[in-house]
Amino acid sequence: MPVITLPDGSQKHFEHAITVAEVAGSIGPGLAKAALAGKVNGALVDTSAVIDADASVSIVTDKDPEGLDIIRHSTAHLLANAVQELYPEAQVTIGPVIENGFYYDFAYKRPFSTEDLAAIEKRMAEISGRDLKVHRRVLPRDAAVEHFKKLGEHYKAEIISAIPAGESISLYGQGDWEDLCRGPHVPSTGKLKAFKLTKVAGAYWRGDSRNEMLQRIYGTAWANEKQLKEYLTRIEEAEKRDHRRLGRELDLFHFQEEAPGAVFWHPKGWALFQQLIGYMRQRQTEAGYLEVNTPQVMDRELWVKSGHIESFGENMYLTQTPDDRVFALKPMNCPGHIQVFNQGLRSYRELPLRLAEFGAVHRYEPSGALHGLMRVRAFTQDDAHIFCTPDQITAESVAVTQLILGIYRDFGFEDVRIKFSDRPAKRVGSEEIWDNAEAALRQACEAAGIETTLNPGEGAFYGPKLEFVLRDAIGRDWQCGTLQVDFNLPARLGAHYIGEDSQKHTPVMLHRAMFGSLERFIGILIEHHEGKLPIWLAPVQAVVIGITERQEKYCLEVAENLKNQGLRVETDLRNEKLGYKIREHTIKRVPFLLIAGDKEAEGRTLAVRTRAGKDLGSFELKELSALLCEEIASRGRLVLEDRVSQRRSA
Cα–Cα distances in Å, from 123 out to 19, 74, 118, 129?
31, 15, 9, 10
Query: Cα 144–147–152 angle (5° rounding)?
Result: 125
What does the alpha-carbon distance between residue 419 and residue 231 come to, in Å, rounded to a whole number? 24
Q: Which residues contact 160 (CB under 8 A, 6 or more apart)?
A: 141, 144, 145, 148, 169, 180
What does the alpha-carbon distance between residue 589 and residue 268 come to, in Å, rounded to a whole number? 12
Tell me which of 363, 377, 423, 492 is the catalytic residue. Answer: 363
Q: Which residues contact 593 (CB under 8 A, 6 or more apart)?
A: 542, 543, 545, 582, 585, 586, 608, 609, 610, 611
Has 465 been annotated as catalytic?
A: yes
What does the alpha-carbon distance between residue 233 and residue 617 come to, in Å, rounded to a whole number? 36
CB 354 within 8 A of CB 312: no
Has 210 been annotated as catalytic?
A: no
CB 542 within 8 A of CB 593: yes
Tell me which of 215, 284, 381, 392 is the catalytic residue. Answer: 381
Comparing C-alpha atoms, which of 359, 378, 375 is closest to residue 367? 375
Helix (H, G, I), strand (E, B) or coil at 64: coil
Exposed, middle or buried by CB within 10 Å (0-12, 13-18, 19+), for 430? exposed
Q: Give the DSSP letter string of 138-191.
A: EEEHHHHHHHHHHTT-HHHHHHHHTSPTT-EEEEEEETTEEEE------SBGGG
Tell me which of 77, 191, 385, 520 is the catalytic residue. Answer: 385
Please tell me the number of Cα atoms within 13 Å of 184 on its side-chain side: 23
Tell me which of 383, 422, 486, 572 is the catalytic residue. Answer: 383
Tell me which of 156, 191, 465, 585 is the catalytic residue. Answer: 465
The values of phi and psi at residue 516, to 5°, are 85, -105
Tell me which of 427, 511, 528, 611 is the catalytic residue. Answer: 511
Has 381 been annotated as catalytic?
A: yes
What does the alpha-carbon distance between residue 541 and residue 620 come to, in Å, rounded to a whole number? 18
Has 637 been annotated as catalytic?
A: no
Tell me which of 334, 388, 445, 480 is the catalytic residue. Answer: 334
What does the alpha-carbon distance between residue 32 and residue 25 come to, in Å, rounded to a whole number? 5
Has 196 been annotated as catalytic?
A: no
CB 568 within 8 A of CB 590: no
CB 175 within 8 A of CB 123: no
Catalytic residues, by residue number, are 334, 363, 381, 383, 385, 465, 511
